[in-house]
Amino acid sequence: MTHVGAADAPLALDMRDVAKRYGGTQALIDASLSVRPGTVHALLGENGAGKTTLMRIAFGLERPDRGTMHVGGRVARFASAADAIERGVGMVHQHFSLVPVMTVAENIALGGRGRLDLAGIRAGLGSLAERRGFALDPDAVVATLSVAAQQRVELAKALMHDARLLVLDEPTAVLAPGESAELLRWLRAYADAGNAAVLITHKLHEALSVADDVTVLRRGRTVLAASRADASPRSLTAAMIGGDAEPSEGSREAGVDATMHDTGTRGEPVFRATMVTIADERGLVRVWNATTEVWRGEIVGVAAVDGNGQRELLRALAGRLDPVSGTLVRPKNVGFVPEDRHRDAVLLERSLAENVALRGAGARRGVLDWSAVLARTDRLLRALDVRAEGATVAMRTLSGGNQQRVVLARELAAEDGGTPTAVVAENPTRGLDVRATAVVHERLRSAAAEGAAVVVYSSDIDEVLLLADRVLVVYDGRVREVRAERDAVGRAMVGVE
Amino acid sequence: MDALTPFLAATVRTSVPLALAAFGELLLERVGLINIGLEGAVLAGAFGALVGASAGGVVLGYGGAVMGGVLIAVLFGAFVLWLRADQIIAGTALTLLSIGTTGTLYRSWYGSAGAALGIPTSAPFAIPGLSRLPLIGAAVFTQPPITYLTYVLAPLLAWWFARTHAGLALRAIGERPDAAAAAGIHVDRVRALAILANGVLGGLAGGTLVLAQAGTFAEGMSAGRGFIAIAIVVLGGWSAWGVTAGALLFGAASALQYAFQAMGWRAPYQVFLAIPYLLTLAALAGAVGRARPPAFLGRSLPPRR
Amino acid sequence: MSATPRRRRTRLVLSQIALAALALVAIVAATAFLLLVGGYSVRDGLVALWSGSLGSWYAITSATLVRAVPLLCTGVAVAIAFRAGVFNIGAEGQLLVGAAAATAVSLATPLVAWSGGVTIILALAAAAVAGGLWAGVAAVLRARFGVLEVISTIMLNFVAVHFVSYLVRGPVQEPTHAYPQSATIAESLHLPRLPGAGRLHAGLLLAIAITAVSGWVVRRTAAGFRLMAVGENPDAAASAGQIDVGRTTTRAFLASGALAGLAGGIELLGVTFALYENLSPGYGFTAIAVALLAGLDPWRVLPTAVLFGALEAGAGAMQRDAGIPSTLVTVIEAALILAAVTVQALRLGRRPNPGRASIAAEP
């Protein structure tokens, strides 16, 4: 039985009531998506809404726990990406799978069998350029290509397999505005030629500029599915961030004493950024001309959709990254709680005491007083109620939540036991249960109460609003202070004024 | 110029085992691994050749050589791919193991050290026509068969790397294994095959030392050739033709030493012996040519899926 | 572990002793097994192994401990480097240039009327500096060009061997020009023999002192901590510890080279008294086994260096007295490394080794 769409042709993609569980989280509860052929379909939603998960199912990278899927009117049960590709589905991921030192043609050829027929690929690319209208030099080395061009290579990979349904995951996240426009124009032409495209994005204006239909996911559910004509920025935003702001326990308003913010006696700011431009490790500029201040005793929340530059901003504030231009005044010793704990914050195989001693190890001189370190570690463990057998057990033996508590305790404590001047935290409660999360929140608040300047980034907008006195939103590399209200922050995060 | 022909012949002769081992290492390094145990594989191959040839002729000798090299390769694969142990440490241990085992077995099976053995060796085979070319005919085309195999290997490998999907896959794994995996390539399987090839070629190199050169086995006769092969791969810029040139360079340097001594020069021949290593260092630093190693070379492997 | 309270440390030490005893039993068992398989007399072999290494005072001092001295220095050298994530396979070459430098200083002193003691110190200092510089080449290549030090140090080993070969057949060859070795150094420059200890020389004391200090630095100082952090997880060291990873690894590399060079100087002044090819029977490589088995801890290098010294001394005796190939011991050494590697791999399970420098700089 075929599902018939508005134009009386089978839907390019029809997903109904899809559910998917990942470990402890229900990534998708009740998601549906209906893509008409010849259209560009925007799939909107915040971080964690389930957009990528849903489309990974469509591309055969995941299997749904529940729900049905039809591609081109026929039932689709993909066991792998190869199956999906065979059925004409192509996907361009956020992170490219390209070999930098190889040419475009070689990258496209990867995964084949037998003799390598680069001439054939060149010809194929040539006809692709004609039919689809984008140019790629088959012999160009991928590393020399711009990000936009590299993305085109990924596109070419999909198109060379005759994809009639293209899924693009946040494709404009890595592109400059001009390149984004070009991509969207191309996408439009692709759809007009009778194919279908699903554009996963969090950028409202982008969706509205090119899409025929939109679907909004929130917390794993489809909350809105409409044609472009029936959708307004307002209704879309409301669907994406939800109008209901349930006050969670222990919110700032509800009872933690607000006496610490005496704006009259603020004095000099702890952090002061003036027209600061920051580049990432590869030299790509991620933050432009940011100007802001953070004072003692306050918690500044940073809200952003991942990839908009908040990562570089946080690291610059924490002193782990230097800006390329502008002036950044920051204290000498800033505590930093990074998102990737295992890679950037701890020595898994070493003892808790050694991990605690890691803080400030770069500047320390002379002899280490291990008994003092042990004592300090014991104190920290007790203060944060960490479940561990003592300071000498290996970090690896602790649960994730307890590991994070140790990291937090280490960063929140100044070396001499006094109050830290400043702390920057990046998704500090990711992966933690409710209790651990509450502990983290409480510690951040008391640090501010004791006079520290706290900067917290969370990809969960509610957490940011819960903790912050003031909110900075980073969108597309621009930093703006925004009223600490769900509506305002949500709109700023997706680029709506 | 009649010093030239023996010099050329010596160069080619010395280069063959180096080239074989280096081709084996080339395959492995392009997939991203380094085998410090190659020295052990060459030595094991030499010993295997001894055992095989004693049992029955040159062909069996080469068979034994391959087996010796494969043994080391299998162990290397077990430690590095299966246990995910550190490549450098595993390789070092395997070289030590090979030195100890071959030495012990040699002494216990073949008597006290120093007894020269007469085992069948591989006679030079003159290629009709080509071997009569002036100057190079005697040197290049009057060599034992294994040399001709080596001649074939260079263009074969070059073609294989550039023109087959298998070669492309191997190269991709050495650069970006996750991209290769995303394209559906079985990364660990390809690595295992490369390790095997590395063992086969290393063993053959050792076999050449015994069957086509010395005609006997001596403890430690690999004399660092496995390490030299690693240097040759670097010097050759990780390309098949480059490796060929590098092997010839090392072979020439070694042959020069004897030529100088024969001519009675008292120049410090050690300089010539050291030059290839110094050149390699320079190549590593990028000063000589564009020695760009595979991006994933030497990196620890992620845990097994 | 240095961050351990006293009582816990006692328990740890006891368990480590128990582990060591178990390891010894395993070694004896493995030797016996290999002897059996090889068709040798197990009894004769083990007896020879024992008598040659630890069976007599003379054996202990003049066979085992004499060999343990260079293993101690190079073992600590390798341990320090590996601990910082630097794969210094070049201890052999660094040892050789150290010996060469010490030779140069020792032979040059008749030109200067300095006392023997001062010259010894100068020679040893020169040895350390030479070793450090030799390692420095590889260190610079690693720091500035991202070159894999495994390859560069192996190359430098070869260059060092050829360099020594050149020296002993050329500039420093002994006056009769008959042998490829240097002139013997003056009696007054020999390291004093320890009284009542056969061929054992004062270099042992120096080596022990170096080991003690190194172990203390590694466990008790900020610099030693940085070393460990950088070797464990360079990303966390840089981000959480704000450690200058490049500087720390370079310093570890240089220190390692210096210690290996010093080992060469000590060998020259205490055992060989002249420079020649094959001065080192592979101490630089055995040192790798020594360091690995010591868990990269300088204090634990002491027993493992003695163990390997004993093994090598015993090997010689096995060959002489029982006709058993001394290479058997090399097999045991290799098996020890592989066993240690296996144990570590099984323990770590599926955790990847946090980043080690690759041959090219990160893209």
Decide: helix, strand or coil at residue A267: coil
pLDDT tens sequence across C41-59: 888 888 888 888 888 888 8
Please list the residues that pair with A91 across neighbouring strands: A167
Nearest one of A129, A59, A53 to A91, comparing CA atoms: A59
Closest-CA residue of B relative to A112 is B165
Closest-CA residue of C relative to A315 is C239
Decide: helix, strand or coil at residue B305: coil
Residue C351 has pLDDT above 50, yes or no: no
Percent of chain A residues past pLDDT 90, beyond the cut: 39
Contact A361 C3 (CB under 8 A): no
Could you tell me if A346 lies within 8 Å of chain C, comparing CB atoms? yes
Contact B103 C330 (CB under 8 A): yes
Give chains near C: 3+ CB pairs under 8 A: A, B
From chain B, the residues in CB contact with A102 under 8 A are 168, 171-172, 175
pLDDT tens sequence across C299-344: 999 999 999 999 889 888 888 888 888 888 888 888 888 888 887 7
From chain C, the residues in CB contact with A343 under 8 A are 233, 235-236, 354
Contact B79 C344 (CB under 8 A): no
Residue A253 has pLDDT above 50, yes or no: no
pLDDT tens sequence across A399-420: 877 888 899 889 988 666 566 7
Decide: helix, strand or coil at residue A328: strand
Decide: helix, strand or coil at residue C261: helix
More confident residue, C220 or A131: C220
From chain C, the residues in CB contact with B271 under 8 A are 162, 166
* Fold adopted by A263-333+414-493: Rossmann fold (3.40.50)
What is the residue whose two structure tokens read 């072979």? B251
Token reading at A363: 């500047």
Angstrom distance (rounded) from CA C249 to CA C256: 10
CB hemisphere CA count around A103 (13 angstroms): 14
- For chain A, residues classed under CATH 3.40.50.300 are 13-241, 263-333+414-493
Contact B175 A102 (CB under 8 A): yes
Could you tell me if C359 lies within 8 Å of chain B, comparing CB atoms? yes
Q: What is the CB neighbour count within 10 angstroms for residue A131?
A: 10
Residues in contact with C134: Cβ distance below 8 Å, sequence separation at least 6, in sequence order: C90, C93, C94, C97, C98, C156, C160, C257, C261
Angstrom distance (rounded) from CA B63 to CA B51: 10
Closest-CA residue of C relative to A281 is C363
pTM: predicted TM-score of the whole model, two decimal places? 0.82
**Confidence class for position C349, pLDDT limits 50, 70, 90:** low
More confident residue, A111 or A218: A218
Q: What is the mean pLDDT of residues A282-307?
A: 89
pLDDT in the model for residue C255: 97
pLDDT tens sequence across B156-184: 999 999 999 999 999 999 999 988 988 88
Q: What is the mean pLDDT of residues C186-190?
A: 86
Residue C30 has pLDDT above 90, yes or no: no
pLDDT in the model for residue A416: 61
Q: Please state at what angle helix C203-220 crosses helix C66-83, rounded to 10 degrees.
A: 20
Backbone angles phi, psi at A15, to 5 degrees: -115, 130
What is the residue whose two structure tokens read 């700032």? A252
Contact B164 A114 (CB under 8 A): yes
- The answer to whether A333 and A360 are in contact (CB under 8 A) is yes
pLDDT tens sequence across A82-109: 888 888 999 998 888 899 999 999 999 9
From chain B, the residues in CB contact with A112 under 8 A are 165, 168
Interface of A with B (CB under 8 A): 81-82, 97-102, 106-107, 109-116
Could you tell me if C328 lies within 8 Å of chain B, comparing CB atoms? yes
Token reading at A182: 């070009």
Token reading at A361: 């190890």
Angstrom distance (rounded) from CA A210 to CA A232: 14
Q: Which of B165, B176, B178 sits opposite A109 (nearest CB)?
A: B165
What is the residue whose two structure tokens read 């140019």? A135
The lowest-confidence range among B148-162, B196-210, B244-258, C18-32 is C18-32
Could you tell me if C229 lies within 8 Å of chain A, comparing CB atoms? yes
- DSSP assignment of A436-497 equals HHHHHHHHHHHHHHTT-EEEEEESSHHHHHHH-SEEEEEETTEEEEE-SSHHHHHHHHTT--
Mean pLDDT for chain C? 86
- The answer to whether C334 and C327 are in contact (CB under 8 A) is no
Could you tell me if C15 lies within 8 Å of chain A, comparing CB atoms? no
Contact C360 B104 (CB under 8 A): no
What is the residue whose two structure tokens read 């801890």? C297
Closest-CA residue of C relative to B266 is C170
Contact B163 A116 (CB under 8 A): yes
A345 to chain C, minimum CA–CA distance in Å?
Answer: 5
From chain B, the residues in CB contact with A115 under 8 A are 163-165
Which of C225, C242, C249, C356 to mutate to test binding with chain A, by most A CBs within 10 Å of its CB?
Answer: C242
Residue A51 has pLDDT above 60, yes or no: yes
B108 to chain A, minimum CA–CA distance in Å?
Answer: 45
B185 to chain A, minimum CA–CA distance in Å?
Answer: 6
Angstrom distance (rounded) from CA A143 to CA A136: 14
- DSSP assignment of B102-118 equals HHHHHHHHH-STT----
A147 to chain B, minimum CA–CA distance in Å?
Answer: 16
pLDDT in the model for residue B275: 81
**Confidence class for position B276, pLDDT limits 50, 70, 90:** confident
Contact A109 B168 (CB under 8 A): yes
Q: Domain A13-241 is of which CATH architecture?
A: 3-Layer(aba) Sandwich (3.40)
Nearest one of B93, B85, B71 to B33, comparing CA atoms: B85
Hey, what domains does chain C have and what are their CATH numbers? 27-348 (1.10.3470)
Residue A246 has pLDDT above 50, yes or no: no
- The answer to whether A355 and A409 are in contact (CB under 8 A) is no
Q: Name the residue type at position C127.
A: A
SS3 for B11-69 is: HHHHHHHHHHHHHHHHHHHHCCCCCCCHHHHHHHHHHHHHHHHHHHHHHHHHHHHHHHH
Token reading at A413: 């404590």
Domain ranges of chain B: 17-112+145-223
* Fold adopted by B17-112+145-223: ABC transporter involved in vitamin B12 uptake, BtuC (1.10.3470)
Angstrom distance (rounded) from CA C204 to CA C80: 19
pLDDT tens sequence across B198-239: 999 999 999 999 998 888 888 888 888 898 899 889 888 899
Q: What is the mean pLDDT of residues B111-122?
A: 64
**Confidence class for position A244, pLDDT limits 50, 70, 90:** very low
Could you tell me if B56 lies within 8 Å of chain A, comparing CB atoms? no
From chain C, the residues in CB contact with B107 under 8 A are 325, 327
Contact C341 B92 (CB under 8 A): no
Could you tell me if C350 lies within 8 Å of chain B, comparing CB atoms? yes
Residues 271-290 of C with CB under 8 A from B: 285, 288-289
**Confidence class for position A261, pLDDT limits 50, 70, 90:** very low
